[in-house]
């Protein structure tokens, strides 16, 4: 494990058992003034220990690691530190896995061969807007939607949403931040958060990814 000072930049911790990959990410982020790597871990167990001493804004979490993998680590972090954004990293483009991880609370999903600028953009977007959706996650969510279309445990499209709720849901799907939505609909950020929580409750969605899937299924946003 390694720890260093972060200043006022977006604080990032990476958990990956491949030292060379961690070094590559560290080098890429070192040129960015608004992002700083403050800690490194070899596995999920080390990461959880590290988080007792650090307060990162974003965690880059590898899925496959020894001792404790990313799939096991993700819900543990979300339970203990719900405000930390978690970007899952993997070598595999597995749609069913992406859907599962997004539903467990992941804020983004990137393949480890992603360009360094993509990783940087994902970190910034997750920090500001909570989620980073790309073609990979969007296709996976749509695949998950088709798989669960006839599942009674999936979100209920028969619920009645007000025009304001539908409008805010569309803005959420457009990756607008809470503050941006608040400014656009002339409400306080706290009220927007309350409406977002109400949307989850009414639709049965357990995460933002679930809300996006609901919006597509219900025809509130276009399924492109």
Pair (107, 9) in one structural domain: yes
Q: Model's pTM, two decimal places?
A: 0.69
Q: Residue 217: what are its φ and ψ, rounded to 5°?
A: -65, -40
Res 224: pLDDT: 44
Pair (109, 32) in one structural domain: yes
Q: Which of 114, 136, 158 delimits the end of a domain?
A: 136
Pair (71, 176) in one structural domain: no
- Rounded to an integer, the average pLDDT of 130-152 is 65
Pair (33, 73) in one structural domain: yes
What is the pLDDT confidence band of residue 217, given thresholds at 50, 70 and 90? confident
Pair (130, 173) in one structural domain: no
- Rounded to an integer, the average pLDDT of 93-117 is 84
pLDDT at residue 107 is higher than 80: yes
42/90: higher pLDDT: 42
Pair (126, 16) in one structural domain: yes
With CA atoms as reference, report the closest residue to 98 among 220, 178, 213.
213
At 25-82, the pLDDT tens digits run 999 999 999 999 999 999 999 999 999 999 999 999 999 999 999 999 999 999 999 9
Res 83: pLDDT: 92
Question: In terms of residue numbers, what domain contains 89?
Answer: 2-136
Largest CA distance in the chain: 51
24 within a domain of the structure (yes/no): yes
Res 3: pLDDT: 45
- Rounded to an integer, the average pLDDT of 8-26 is 94
Pair (131, 154) in one structural domain: no
Res 104: pLDDT: 85
Could you write out the DSSP letters of every residue in the chain?
-EE---TTSEEEEEE-S-HHHHHHHHHHHHT-TTEEEEEEESSHHHHHHHTTT---SEEEEESS-SSS-HHHHHHHHHHH-TTSEEEEEES---HHHHHHHHHHT-SEEEETTS-HHHHHHHHHHHHHHS----HHHHHHHHHHHHHHTT-TTS--TTS---HHHHHHHHHHHTT--HHHHHHHHT--HHHHHHHHHHHHHHHT--SHHHHHHHHHHTTSS---
Total domain count, the chain:
2
Pair (70, 159) in one structural domain: no
Res 84: pLDDT: 96
177/217: higher pLDDT: 177
Pair (15, 93) in one structural domain: yes
Q: Which of 136, 171, 196 delimits the end of a domain?
A: 136
141 within a domain of the structure (yes/no): no
Pair (109, 45) in one structural domain: yes
Tokens in use for 66? Answer: 């020894």
Q: Which of 106, 136, 166 delimits the end of a domain?
A: 136
């Amino acid at each position: 494990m390694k720890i260093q000072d972060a200043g006022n930049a977006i604080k990032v911790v990476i958990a990956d058992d491949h030292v060379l990959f961690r070094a590559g990410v560290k080098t890429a982020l070192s040129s960015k003034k608004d992002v700083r790597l403050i800690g490194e871990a070899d596995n999920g167990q080390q990461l959880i220990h590290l988080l007792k001493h650090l307060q990162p804004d974003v965690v880059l979490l590898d899925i496959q690691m020894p001792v404790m993998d990313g799939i096991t680590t993700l819900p543990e972090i979300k339970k203990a530190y719900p405000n930390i954004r978690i970007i899952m990293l993997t070598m595999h483009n597995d749609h069913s896995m992406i859907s599962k991880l997004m539903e467990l609370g992941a804020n983004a999903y990137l393949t480890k061969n992603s360009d360094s600028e993509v990783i940087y953009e994902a970190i910034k977007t997750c920090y500001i807007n909570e989620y980073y959706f790309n073609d990979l996650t969007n296709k996976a969510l749509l695949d998950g939607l088709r798989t669960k279309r006839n599942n009674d445990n999936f979100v209920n499209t028969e619920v009645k949403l007000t025009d304001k709720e539908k409008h805010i849901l569309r803005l959420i799907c457009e990756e607008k931040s809470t503050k941006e939505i608040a400014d656009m609909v002339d409400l306080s950020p706290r009220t927007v958060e309350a409406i977002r929580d109400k949307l989850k409750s009414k639709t049965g969605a357990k995460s933002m990814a679930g809300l996006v899937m609901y919006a597509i299924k219900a025809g509130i946003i276009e399924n492109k």
